C-alpha cells in the first residue's frame, strides 16, 4: 500500500489551503478530490447565452470582514469588484413599540454583542436562543408586516428554512458582521473571474500532490496509520485531514471513535438547503429585491450579450420546483423584467459531494460541530462547515483550512494539537 505522511481529503478552499500550507512547510502531502475539478462549493461557469461567467455556488466576499479571503485573493493577484447596493434593502425606521422592526433589531444587536464568534465556546450561556428562528420571532411577536423581510434576510445569510435552522446561527452572524444592519445589508463584493478562480489558482501550485477523480469511501484508523480508500485506490497515511462538507460525512465509512455529539451531528447533517439559479433576462433597469418565501434574494448583472438575474429559494419541494416558483414570483414583483428560458443552476442538495448548500445548523448541533473541529491527530476535520468565526462562508473554509495545517504542524513538533481556532 502507498504510504503518505499526510492525506487531505477534499479540494475545496479548506483542503486546498491546508494542503498548500503543509507542502510549504515541507510535509509530504496528497490531496484527494472526488470530482474532476477543484473548488467544491465555489463553482464558476460561463453562461454562454448571456456572455459572462456566473457563480453557481459561493459568490460574495466582504472586503471589510473577510480578511483571510482578501489575503488569499491578493496573494494570487485576483481582484474583487465592488457591487455594494446604493439603497439598503430595509431602512431601519425609528419605532419603539414591541414587535416593530426596530425593537427586534435592538434585541438582536444586544444579544449579538454578548457573543464573541472567535471564542472557542462562543455558544456557552446562549442555550435559550438555540431554537428555530420562527419560534424565536413568535416569542418576540415580530410584527407580521416585517416577518417576511426578516426571514428573507435571514435566509440570505443561512440558506435554510426558518422552521429548521437555529436562531443561534443568526446571532453568530450578527456578532461576526458587527450588528444586524451590517449583516443584513452588508457591503459585499464579487470575485473577478468568479469565486472558483481562487481555488484554481491555489491548485496550480500543488502539482502532482493533487489527485482528481478520487472519491474516498472509507477512512479507518488502525495501529499502523490511517487507511484512506476509494475505487481509485488505497493509501496509508500518518495523518488525515478530512476537508469535506458535513453532509457528505454520513456517506463515508468513518472507522474511528468519534465524540458522541460529533457522531450525532454527522448522522443528522445540517439543514442548509438553498437553491440558487441564473436566467437570461430583458430588463429596463437593474433589479435587486428580497421577498419571502419565493425569489428570496434577487439581483441582476449585465453580460456581454444580455442581462441575467439571479435568485435564491428554499429548495422545497425540490431544487427545480423552488426555482420555477421563484422565476414566476420574480416576474410578478419586477413587472418590467422578462425572464427567458435560458437558465443555469446546480442542485447542491442532490450533489453527492455536497448534499446540502452552505452550513446552517439545527438547534442542538453547534457543540457537535465544534467537537469535530477540535479532534486531535491522526484524523482532523476542517472546512467552511466547521469554522468558528465564519462558518458557512468561504472565509471560514480558508481560516479553518489554514488553522488545521497549523495544528497538524504543532502536533508534529510537540505531539499535541491546540484546539481549533479557524
Residue for grid cell 502532482: 208
Q: How many CB atoms lie within 10 A of CB 415?
A: 9
Least distance between ligand FAD and beta carbon 353 (Å): 4
Nearest to 215 by CA among 240, 263, 268, 252: 252
43-62: which residues touch ligand FAD (CB under 6 A)? 57-60
Residue with cell 496550480: 204
Least Cβ distance, residue 107 to ligand FAD (angstroms): 27
What does the alpha-carbon distance between residue 77 and residue 67 come to, in Å, rounded to a whole number? 15
* CB neighbour class for 403 (10 Å; exposed up to 12, middle 13-18, buried from 19): buried
| Residue 260: count of CB within 10 angstroms of its CB | 10
Measure CA of the first residue to CA of the last residue in the chain; give whole Å: 33
Site string for ligand FAD, 227-266 (x = CB under 6 A): ----------------xxx--x---x--------------
Which residue from 20, 31, 33, 161 is in contact with ligand FAD, where contact means CB under 6 A? 33
- Residue 103 makes CB contacts below 8 A (sequence gap 6+) with 95, 96, 97
Is residue 353 involved in binding ligand FAD (CB under 6 A)?
Answer: yes
Choose between 111 and 293: whose C-beta lies nearer to ligand FAD: 293
Give the residue with the Cβ less far from ligand FAD, 129 or 393: 393
Q: How many CB atoms lie within 10 A of CB 398?
A: 29
Do 88 and 185 contact (CB within 8 A), yes or no?
Answer: yes
Report the residue from 358, 367, 372, 377 that binds ligand FAD according to the rule CB under 6 A: 358
Q: Give 130 or 385: the residue with its C-beta nearer to ligand FAD.
A: 385
Q: Count of residues binding ligand FAD (CB under 6 A)? A: 41
Which three three-digit cell numbers place residue 198? 481562487
**Which residues have CB under 8 Å from 148's CB, separation 6+?**
291, 292, 293
**C-beta of 385: minimal distance to ligand FAD in Å?**
6
- Residues 84 to 123 in contact with ligand FAD, rule: CB under 6 A: none
Residue 13 in the binding site for ligand FAD (CB under 6 A): yes
Residue 146, interface with ligand FAD (CB under 6 A)? no
* Among the residue ranges 13-21, 106-114, 202-210, 412-420, the one whose residues contact ligand FAD (CB under 6 A): 13-21
* Binder of ligand FAD out of 8, 29, 394, 405 (CB under 6 A): 394
- The window from 8-16, 119-127, 178-186, 328-336 that contacts ligand FAD (CB under 6 A) reads 8-16
- What is the Cα–Cα distance from 165 to 155, expressed in whole angstroms? 10
Say if CB 71 and CB 328 are below 8 A apart: no
Nearer to ligand FAD, 54 or 111 (CB): 54
3-class SS of residue 290: strand
Least distance in angstroms from the C-beta of 322 to ligand FAD: 12
Query: Strand pairing partners for 242?
Result: 9, 381
233: left (phi over 0), alpha (psi -120 to 50) or beta: left
Minimal distance, residue 188 CB to ligand FAD, in Å: 8
Among 6, 7, 10, 132, binds ligand FAD (CB under 6 A): 10
Residues contributing to the site for ligand FAD (CB under 6 A): 9-15, 32-35, 40-42, 57-60, 215-216, 243-245, 248, 252, 274, 276, 348, 353-354, 357-358, 383-385, 392-397
Amino acid at each position: 500500500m502507498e504510504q503518505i505522511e499526510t492525506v487531505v481529503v477534499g479540494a475545496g478552499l479548506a483542503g486546498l489551503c491546508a494542503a498548500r500550507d503543509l507542502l510549504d512547510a515541507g510535509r509530504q502531502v496528497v490531496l484527494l478530490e472526488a470530482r474532476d475539478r477543484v473548488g467544491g462549493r465555489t463553482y464558476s461557469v460561463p453562461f454562454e447565452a448571456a456572455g459572462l461567467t456566473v457563480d453557481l455556488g459561493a459568490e460574495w466576499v466582504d472586503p471589510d470582514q473577510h480578511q483571510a479571503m482578501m489575503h488569499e485573493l491578493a496573494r494570487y493577484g485576483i481582484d474583487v469588484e465592488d457591487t455594494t447596493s446604493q439603497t439598503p434593502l430595509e431602512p431601519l425606521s425609528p419605532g419603539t413599540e414591541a414587535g416593530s422592526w426596530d425593537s427586534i433589531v435592538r434585541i438582536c444587536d444586544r444579544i449579538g454583542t454578548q457573543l464573541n464568534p472567535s471564542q472557542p465556546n462562543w455558544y456557552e450561556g446562549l442555550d435559550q436562543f438555540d431554537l428555530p428562528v420562527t419560534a424565536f420571532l413568535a416569542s418576540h411577536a415580530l410584527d407580521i408586516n416585517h416577518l417576511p423581510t426578516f426571514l428573507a434576510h435571514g435566509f440570505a445569510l443561512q440558506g435554510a428554512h426558518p422552521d429548521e435552522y437555529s436562531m443561534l446561527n443568526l446571532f453568530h452572524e450578527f456578532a461576526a458582521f458587527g450588528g444586524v444592519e451590517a449583516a443584513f445589508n452588508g457591503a459585499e463584493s464579487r470575485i473577478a473571474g468568479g469565486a472558483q478562480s481562487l481555488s484554481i489558482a491555489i491548485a496550480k501550485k500543488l502539482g502532482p500532490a493533487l489527485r482528481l477523480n478520487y472519491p474516498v469511501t472509507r477512512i479507518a484508523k488502525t495501529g499502523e496509520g490511517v487507511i484512506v480508500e476509494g475505487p481509485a485506490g488505497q493509501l496509508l497515511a500518518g495523518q488525515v485531514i478530512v476537508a469535506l462538507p458535513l453532509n457528505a460525512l454520513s456517506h463515508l465509512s468513518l472507522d474511528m471513535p468519534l465524540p458522541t455529539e460529533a457522531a450525532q451531528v454527522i448522522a443528522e447533517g445540517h439543514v442548509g438547503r438553498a437553491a440558487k439559479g441564473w436566467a437570461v433576462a430583458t430588463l429596463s433597469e437593474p433589479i435587486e429585491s428580497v421577498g419571502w418565501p419565493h425569489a428570496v434574494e434577487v439581483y441582476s448583472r449585465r453580460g456581454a450579450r444580455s442581462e441575467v438575474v439571479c435568485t435564491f429559494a428554499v429548495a422545497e419541494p425540490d431544487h427545480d420546483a423552488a426555482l420555477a416558483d421563484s422565476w414566476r414570483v420574480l416576474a410578478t414583483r419586477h413587472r418590467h423584467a422578462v425572464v427567458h428560458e435560458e437558465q443555469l443552476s446546480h442542485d447542491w442538495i442532490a450533489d453527492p459531494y455536497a448534499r446540502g448548500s452552505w452550513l446552517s445548523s439545527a438547534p442542538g448541533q453547534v457543540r457537535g460541530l465544534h467537537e469535530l473541529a477540535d479532534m486531535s491527530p491522526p484524523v482532523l476535520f476542517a472546512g467552511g462547515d466547521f469554522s468558528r468565526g465564519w462558518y458557512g462562508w468561504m472565509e471560514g473554509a480558508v481560516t479553518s483550512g489554514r488553522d488545521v495545517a497549523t495544528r497538524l504542524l504543532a502536533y508534529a513538533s510537540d505531539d499535541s494539537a491546540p484546539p481549533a481556532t479557524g
